[in-house]
Amino acid sequence: MLAVGGLLAGLLLTGCARPPGSATLSDAKNDFWTGRLSLQVQSEPAQSFSAGFELKGRPERGELTLISPLGNVLGVLRWSPSEALLDSGNQKIQRFASVDALMTQATGAAVPLSALFAWLQGDNASVSGWSADLSRHGEGRIRAQRNQPLPQTDLRVVLDQ
């Protein structure tokens, strides 16, 4: 597993321009979200990153684009029932056996994608080991924490409004 810092550093070096005309939350039809996310993984050594994001699709088929503060695309994660891919620009596209393996590789933690989609829609989906705080969902803020299995993970999402 690549460290998140190393992956993001490599993605920053190979980033390309962000596509123009991206939509905001007000344009969403429950299949497109934009905003910022941060993830802290209490591994040894601890890992953390923050990025802008565009998420479209559904848990079964979708795309997550991570964007640097300067507007460069850091990487694009794509998944479908038959494949899961990480495209980090000039590097070779990486293929994974599952979306869970893709998320672990890209973020350093097994972020539960199905639950993330539910949380974004305001549904407090239950996932073993994770607890979500949707008390500020109306303000476009979501927080989810994983306590088990280790490493502990803290995910924060702020949606564009």
Could you say which DSSP state residue 138 is in? G
Task: State how far the Cα of 35 lies from the Cα of 51, in Å rounded to an integer.
Answer: 9
Task: State how far the Cα of 127 lies from the Cα of 48, in Å rounded to an integer.
Answer: 22
Domains of the chain: 4-17+24-159 (2.50.20.10)
Apex 40 CA angle, 135 and 113, nearest 5: 65
- pLDDT of 22 over the 70 cut: no
| Digit-coded pLDDT (tens) for 91-136 | 789 999 998 898 888 877 888 999 999 999 999 999 999 999 999 9
Task: State how far the Cα of 133 lies from the Cα of 121, in Å rounded to an integer.
Answer: 13
Is residue 109 within 8 A of residue 151, CB to CB? The reply is: yes
Is residue 51 within 8 A of residue 68, CB to CB? The reply is: yes
| Digit-coded pLDDT (tens) for 27-72 | 345 799 999 999 999 988 988 989 999 999 999 999 999 999 999 9
